[in-house]
Structure 1
Amino acid sequence: MKKITMMDVAKEAGVSKSTVSQYINNRFEYMSHETRERIEQAIKDLGYIPNFIAKSLKQKKTSTIGVIVANILHAFSTEIIRAIEDVAGEHNVHVFVCNADDNPEKEKDYIEMLLAKQVDGLIILPTGGNIDLYCSLKKMNFPIVFMDRKIHPTLYPTLLLDNHAAADMAVSQLIQAGNKKIGFISSTILPQVTPRMERLEGYRHTLMLNGLEVNEQWIVQGKGEDIRHQLVALFEAGNFPDAFFTGNDLSLIELLKFTKQNNLQIPEDLRVVTIDDSPYLDAFTPSITVVKQPTFEMGKEAATFLLKLIKHPIFKEEYDAKRYSPTLIKRESIQMERI
């Protein structure tokens, strides 16, 4: 494969080499939007990787790895990071942790920064917005493991929960408890965010299998304030479910705030099941039933897999994603008898 140079990009974009250099170094003061777009497209078309990144990939091992999470506020993310650090520490490898905020540009900046620091490999909860960069790094046999989210095609080893099974487990428990009006709350549902999409699909599927209505108004999604507004609208319209399945810990927090503000009692007025456990859920009154991910097992396996790839960077053309089975922890929020 011919090495693509900055001059190749310049010729493709119809600009000077110095202009391409300015673009790569984020110096846009005197550069038109059209020129920036031409250079960006040329880089994508040619698969060009800036020299400072290419150079970092050829250096000796540094005994460091990078972890880029989608949102560090989730309990899932913090537990994954802890498990990765445990394994890395056993091998005298240091860990850089970055929070992408589900922003592809921020993720790209972090990837390039970590490569410039010559990390030996990356564990990424990918945004899905940097396919070209993922592909370029794979061509160079750079070790990466994806977690929690599935990218098409599956370029790298990918570890994630069986989200359909988790949703079925949660909704089935609510149905067995006698609930027929079951809602779903999630952070903003986006096609590239695998867990949210698959949990919604699992929620719909289990309701339909049991002959229950899928009421689109009971599917609440968005950021914190959006969730609160939608819950208020349902409550004031007298169209409130008698149970909720929340897709993650941040969604659950919004629901718990709402129940407190409106004097709703769990489980008397509302039954609740969520995904992702946390110590406060057991301590909360009433304690909250959860479908638990094996986060520490997933994090440890991701780190172990990455360290093997660093030692032997040999990749398959495409991978089957590894799915982990969820576990149900029954607590007071779903007791079988009404008080």
Structure 2
Amino acid sequence: MKTVTISDVATHAKVSKSTVSQYLNKRYDYMGEKTKQRIELAIEELGYQPNIVARSLKQKSTKTIGVIVANILHNFTTEVTRAIEDVCISSDYHTIICNADDDPEKEKHYIEMLRAKQVDGLIIFPTGDNRGLYEKMLKDRYPVIFLDRKVEDIPISSILLDNEMASGLAVEHFVQKGYSRIGMITTSIINHITPRLERIQGYEKAIHKEGLPFVEEYVKSAEPTNIQRVLEELLDLEEPPEAILAGNDLVLIEILKYAKQNGMKIPEDLAVIGIDDVSFASFYTPAITTVAQPTFEIGKMGAEALLDKIRNNKVEDELLNYRFDPHLMVRDSV
């Protein structure tokens, strides 16, 4: 079957090739309504499909951005990427979403692959272990934004939560409700992931601020598959915690599973607060108190910041390091 070209569309619609090109690029300023309708009908009748590759080479833009997330299973990731996609669609950009699984090798592969595909920019939830690649993007003046995390001494704009405040809100609420033995569990901190470390730091600062003794044994981190085991270790202590702060949604799910499997009542046997306002928190029994982060606002700002860099050819002269405030959603688990 013969490939339909822009010339065929122009002939069929009885307009010039440049008019069809203006239509395809949504430049309608001086185009009459009847002309637009003829071109639209010609495209439909001929079954014309624009050559995206050829257009990208001509315009030096693929109108595509890459998003490399740390773990696609997180509720946070789902909501942030949805917001990124919404902004990009409204700006006529496509998104390619890749899941790095917090694995530096996978992250490296995706950065190299996406750049080879000539995407116009990247939003990365960085592992932190590909400093050479991050520095190369800066050297190449390549548009990139970090979300949810930052990398020490790498001057790339980052947008994330005030993680210390998130832990502080939870500890303060526990204390207000009369709890003094407060523990915390996060997913693994082996790779020095920003939000996990900062949430632990915020927990420790809040414990001291509330005049409570800091008990090192009360702070645990593990891979999701081992969360229930470390929770059991906490509860087997001579003086176990009466309350647990779950560092993210994956930790919260494992705590709730453990409580159900072992016949524990929340909050009677164990008070719980989770960081990340998961979708089930409000209708779980009992409803779970959470510290919510503005996921859609984070994603929206990240996408808008990246598109601004792309359109205006901006480099990191002025770093955007923005932190959103968390919000305590008080329910029945404390």
Is TM more than 0.5 here? yes
**What does 1:227-242 align with in structure 2 at a 5 Å threshold?**
227-242=227-242
| 1:81 corresponds to | 81
Distance in 2 of aligned mates of 1:240 and 1:310: 52
Give deviations 1:300-334, integer Å, cap 9, x for gaps: 01101111111112223462521111111100111
Conserved 8 A contact 2:148-2:195: yes
Q: What is the aligned-residue identity percentage?
A: 48
Whole-Å Cα distance in 2 between the matches of residues 57 and 270 of structure 1?
60
**Structure 2: gaps (5+ residues):** 1-55
In the TM superposition, residue 137 of structure 1 has moved relative to its aligned partner by: 1.2
User: Is residue 282 of structure 2 the alignment partner of residue 282 of structure 1?
Assistant: yes
Q: Which residue of 1 aligns with 2:272?
A: 272
SS at match of 1:96: strand
**Counterpart in the other structure of 2:180:** 180
SS at structure 2 position matched to 1:227: helix
**SS state of the match for residue 280, structure 1?**
coil
Secondary structure of residue in 2 paired with 1:284: coil
What residue identity is the alignment partner of 2:162? D
For the residues of structure 2 that align with 1:252 and 1:120, how far apart are their CA atoms?
A: 37
- The aligned amino acid for 1:249 is D
Partner SS state of residue 102, structure 1: coil
Cα deviation 1:62-118 (Å, max 9, x = unaligned): 011000001111111010100000000101111000011111111010011111111
Count of equivalent residues:
279
Deviations 1:247-296 (A, max 9, x none): 10000011111111221111111111111112211110001011110110
Describe how 1:134-283 pairs up with structure 2 within 5 A: 134-190=134-190, 192-283=192-283
| CA pair 239-257 structure 1, distance change in 2 beyond 3 A | farther
Q: Which moved more, 1:279-288 or 1:219-228?
A: 219-228
Match of 1:126 in 2: 126
Please give the root-mean-square deviation of Cα atoms over the aligned residues, in Å. 1.8
Contact 2:222 2:230 survives alignment (8 Å): no
Q: TM-score, normalised by structure 1?
A: 0.79
* Range with greater deviation from structure 2 (291-300 or 205-214): 205-214
Q: Distance in 2 between matches of 1:89 and 1:181?
A: 48
The answer for the alignment partner of 1:105 in structure 2 is 105
Q: Structure 1 CA distance, aligned partners of 2:57 and 2:248?
A: 36
Separation of aligned partners in 2, 1:274 and 1:181: 16
* Alpha-carbon spacing, 1:99–1:197, altered in 2? closer, same or farther (3 Å): same
Give the distance between the partners of 1:186 and 1:318, measured in 2 at CA: 33
Determine the C-alpha separation between the residues in 1 that align with 2:106 and 2:57: 21
CA offsets per residue over residues 141-185 of structure 1, 9 Å max, x none?
110010111112242211000011111001100011000100001
Please list every run of 5 or more consecutive structure 1 residues that lacks an aligned counterpart in the other structure.
1-55, 335-339
SS at match of 1:146: strand
User: What TM-score, normalized by structure 2, do the two folds share?
Assistant: 0.80
2:292 is matched with 292
User: Contact 1:62–1:119 at 8 Å: present in 2 too?
Assistant: yes
Q: Which moved more, 1:96-105 or 1:149-158?
A: 149-158
* Aligned-pair CA distance for 1:238: 4.3
The 8 Å contact of residues 242 and 269 in structure 1, kept in 2 or not, is answered as: yes
Structure 1 residue aligned with 2:5: none
Is the CA contact 1:80–1:299 (under 8 Å) kept in the aligned structure 2?
Answer: yes
Structure 2 Cα separation of the partners of residues 333 and 87 of structure 1:
35
Q: Secondary structure at the match of 1:333?
A: coil
The residue matched to 2:307 in structure 1 has which SS?
A: helix
Equivalent residue, structure 1, for 2:26: none
Match of 2:312 in 1: 312
Following superposition, the deviation at residue 224 of structure 1 comes to: 2.4
Residue type of the partner of 1:142? Y
Name the SS of the counterpart of 1:282 in structure 2: coil
Greater Cα offset, 244-253 or 308-317:
308-317
> Deviations for 1:184-222, whole angstroms, at most 9, x for unmatched residues?
010002363110000000101111111212222211210
Kept after mapping to 2: 8 A contact 1:154/1:320: no
Indicate if the aligned counterparts of 2:159 and 2:320 stay in contact, CA closer than 8 A: no
Correspondences of 1:44-63 after superposition (within 5 Å): 60-63=60-63
